[in-house]
Amino acid sequence: MNYGLSGVLDTAPNNSLNTSGDYHPFQNYYPPHIRSVANGCHNPSRLTGQHRLDDNDDEQQQQQQQQQHHYQQQQRSDDDYEINDIDKPKLLMWGLTKSGKTSIIKLIFEKMTAGETLKLPETKMIQIHELTCGVYVRFQIRDVPGPKTASLNDFETFAPNATTIIFVLDVTEDYTDAINLLVSSVQWMYKHGHNVRFEVLIHKIDGVQEPDRLERYSNIQKQVIVMLHECSIEKPLINFYLTSIYDHSIHEAFSKIVQNQMKQLRALENMLNIVTESTQLDKIFVCDIYNKIFLASDTKPVDTQLSELCCDVVDVYTDISSIYGASNSSVLDSMSFCTIELSIGLILYLKDINPTTALICIFKKESKINEALMEVNLNILKKNIQELFLTNTKCSKRQQLNTSITSIE
């Protein structure tokens, strides 16, 4: 399958408007100059930008209605997107009691504040969360009561059908027991033939002084690898992250964990690479605006500060939308966009993909971006992203059908 991006146009030599017949109807809405913060908006009744102040402009209203109609159709096709329950990744939150498992889920997916997690009761029963990121990426997370010691009794019940284990290790406590629990859990999985990935969150890092953080991270990592090596597990599937619910690190780590579940990731990254190169952008992220999970970015190395900036853009956008927007409409719709110019010479541009997902582009103010070309390419990208996910589902449905025909023969 060709994972390229059909139809993406290359940068024109100057900043002129693209006059080809290909130009997207959005052209009429988005004047080809960059505007300042959050003057993109969702529908006529919400916060309006300077180009929409005239509510009596019939032509504009008609076009807006057409766009809304397209978006509703898109929403309907998104609803058609079904993922087979067997294919759905099953993530297990695992770690000692009070390590922070429930807090992480509540903070990312249920909008609980970090302060509110202080009052969370101990988990007594297994909690199953059916979650969706960016409409298309669906998975299940199981939050289970954490053991008080390095005992595997409960793990043997919870682990067998997990496809990924998210192990939460409280770095502010003596972590000998936590490391023993982690190592024996990996060992148990290998012994029972489950070659699953372990995503280890070295958590509550806000409680450790800045200079000691990396040292503690590499000590824990080394200790775990040596212990696994002693158990003859040479190349474990294991990743380590430094996290805290008091900053963006937990969103960043969880984004990587979610990306590891997506079979479309490489294809998506290829598409984003093509668009960043052809449009001369510095970076593009695909982000779920409700939980701030990044589903992908182009493959240029990500500066942590850039992804923090993206989370901030999303916060600004959703805050303004919830203050000024109509209560019954979604935060993003087919006309949503916003541009923020930073004093450090960067421009952040947010644009919808679907009702929950946005593209966030970053480019330097001085770079000669052809904005018309950027708009065309981002619209093509948006369409291709949708097709990529839908094609994948159709393929897997067709494969299932073929399998059942074969078995009947």
Ligand X SMILES: Nc1nc2c(ncn2[C@@H]2O[C@H](COP(=O)(O)OP(=O)(O)OP(=O)(O)O)[C@@H](O)[C@H]2O)c(=O)[nH]1
Site residues, ligand X (CB under 6 A): 95, 97-103, 117-118, 120, 122-123, 145-146, 203-204, 206-207, 244-246
Residue 178 CB, nearest approach to ligand X (Å): 11
Q: How far is the CB of 113 from ligand X (least distance, A)?
A: 10
Integer Cα distance of 236 and 198 in angstroms: 8
Closer residue to ligand X in complex, CB, 201/287: 201
Phi-psi region of 106 (alpha: psi -120 to 50; beta: other; left: phi over 0): alpha
How far apart are the C-alpha atoms of 50 and 40, rounded to whole Å? 9
Q: How far is the CB of 302 from ligand X (least distance, A)?
A: 21
Our CB check for ligand X shows the closer of 249 and 321 to be 249
Pairing mode, if any, of strands 283-288 and 357-364? antiparallel
Q: Quote the least distance from Cβ 242 to ligand X, whole Å.
A: 10
Burial (CB < 10 A; 0-12, 13-18, 19+), residue 76, is exposed
Name the residue nearer to ligand X (CB basis): 171 or 275. Answer: 171
CA–CA dist 194, 269 (Å, integer): 28
74 vs 244 by CB, closer to ligand X: 244
Pairing mode, strands 90-94 and 346-354:
unpaired
Q: How far is the CB of 311 from ligand X (least distance, A)?
A: 16
CB of 99 to ligand X, least distance (A): 4
Closest CA relative to residue 171, chosen from 223, 108, 242: 242
Smallest gap from Cβ 212 to ligand X, in A, equals: 15
Residues 6+ apart with CB under 8 A from 45: 326, 329
Residue type for position 75:
Q
Sorted by sequence, the CB contacts under 8 Å of residue 75 that are 6+ apart come out as: 354, 355
Distance (Å) of CA 51 to CA 168, 334, 392: 49, 16, 39
Q: Which is nearer to ligand X, 17 or 120 (CB)?
A: 120
Q: Which is nearer to ligand X, 103 or 357 (CB)?
A: 103
Nearer to ligand X, 99 or 291 (CB): 99
